[in-house]
Amino acid sequence: MTIGETIKFYRKDKKLTQGQLAELIGVSTQAVSKWETDAGMPDISQIVPLAKVLEISTDKLLGYTDAAYEKELKEIKVQLTGINLIDDINRAENLYQSASKFFDKYPDVPEVALACLESFIELFSKKKIEVSKEVFLEECDRYSNSVFRYENNPDNLCKTYYLAARAYDLCGETEKAENFMKNLPYVYGDRDYWEAEMAFADEKYDVAMEKIKKSFASKARFTTRCIRLAAKIYRNQCGGAASEDCLALNEYMLRLIDAFLSGGDFLPHRQVFQKASLLTGIIYDCANLGYVDKAKTYLQELYAIRDNYFEAQKNPKGRHCLMFDENDTDGICHTTREYMDGRIAKAEWMINNAK
């Protein structure tokens, strides 16, 4: 593709109008129109901001990527799918090996830089990498600076601030760690919410609704994360065994997810993924605790969410969600039929092999 075709393709992929893209870059709508028809070229000072907004590398924007680049990036994304770096150190090692090699060649892909940062910190914390604290922090700064420079996804930026704080905390530099933590927003006052307030005041209602849905989605996501972590704490305190407290917390989280999904009949991909994962865990705990009938009841719910989700994918017309963005594809890679069927097969096996 030409540069113009690339800009047009990724602008539409981001669901931006020419005017919206122009406003984000600080140019006129006519300039964007000229770029997309190859009647003009972005100024060199606009290349990095343009790549950040479109969430692509500058190489890709300028047409320098090749098949090898796309193949390597795809392989890294596959490795990232469903990985828990804290619990799976072997996968973290494999991820870091491939991601760091890619980063050395393409340091302007924030998703890979973030993968390098997170996996490198986990490997260092578990003493799988033997480097001095100075070298460790230099590498962390290299990865985090790439994310801060090229990323515009607020969730990834917040995660990077957290990871940078963790890196300095691991090295005993608490003051620097605290400075990074100060960049994390409070739930009530996140940037999307206040941008929604400003857009509402300016009567830009479409923009306001888009922002407030993003704000709500992040709150829903992190509320469930808090409960999930509490359940994991109970589980670890019991040496990995299921406990009544752990089960109760997971059932509480399930009720919250159902409440989030009740605002309309559209099921967001990430919430479907969360619910399927959670139901599998609940079935596992019920089976281990001897609550086989309860486990079978939750299995029926797992069947239902799978069937309803794919029915919605086949017939999306007329479906809506009050507080989630219908166009948000976050988590779609975790909700393939193969993945969902795998969850069900695992749950069925647990019940059949219950104590």
Instruction: Work out the percent of the chain whose per-residue pLDDT is above 70.
Output: 92
Note the pLDDT of residue 113. Answer: 94
Note the pLDDT of residue 271. Answer: 76
Note the pLDDT of residue 293. Answer: 94
Give residue 66's pLDDT band: very low, low, confident or very high (50, 70, 90): low
> What distances in angstroms separate CA 252 from CA 145, 195, 278, 291, one per listed residue?
38, 32, 11, 17
pLDDT in tens, 311-332: 888 887 777 777 777 677 777 7
- Tell me how crowded residue 25 is: count the other CB atoms within 10 A of its CB: 18
Give residue 85's pLDDT band: very low, low, confident or very high (50, 70, 90): low
Residue with tokens 């100060």: 182
Note the pLDDT of residue 298. Answer: 95
pLDDT at 187 over 80: no
pLDDT at 217 over 90: no
pLDDT at 247 over 60: yes
In terms of residues, how long is the chain? Answer: 355
Mean pLDDT, rounded, for 233-248: 80
For the chain, how long is the longest CA-to-CA vector? 70
Residue 252 makes CB contacts below 8 A (sequence gap 6+) with 227
Q: Domain-by-domain residue ranges, the chain?
A: 3-62, 67-181, 235-352
Q: Which residue has the higher pLDDT, 328 or 42?
A: 42
Secondary structure (DSSP) of 130-158 = ---HHHHHHHHHHHHHHHHHH---HHHHH
Note the pLDDT of residue 10. Answer: 81
pLDDT in tens, 254-264: 888 788 766 66
Note the pLDDT of residue 15. Answer: 82
> What predicted TM-score, i.e. pTM, was given to this entire model?
0.54
pLDDT in tens, 51-65: 888 888 787 788 766
Specify the fold of 3-62: 434 Repressor (Amino-terminal Domain) (1.10.260)
* Helix, strand, or coil (residue 264): strand
Nearest alpha-carbon partner for 353 in 300, 291, 288, 301: 288
pLDDT in tens, 268-298: 787 788 888 889 989 988 998 899 999 999 9
Mean pLDDT, rounded, for 225-250: 82
Instruction: Work out the percent of the chain whose per-residue pLDDT is above 90.
Output: 25
Mean pLDDT, rounded, for 225-248: 81
Mean pLDDT, rounded, for 184-213: 77
Note the pLDDT of residue 65. Answer: 62
Note the pLDDT of residue 86. Answer: 61
pLDDT in tens, 344-355: 999 999 999 886
Q: Average pLDDT, whole number, for the chain?
A: 84
From CA 335, how far away is CA 269, in angstroms rounded? 7
Helix, strand, coil shares of the chain, percent, nearest 5, are 75, 0, 25
Q: Is the domain 67-181 a CATH 3.10.620.30 member?
A: no
pLDDT in tens, 98-124: 999 999 888 878 889 999 999 999 899
pLDDT in tens, 120-131: 998 998 899 989
pLDDT in tens, 293-304: 999 999 999 999
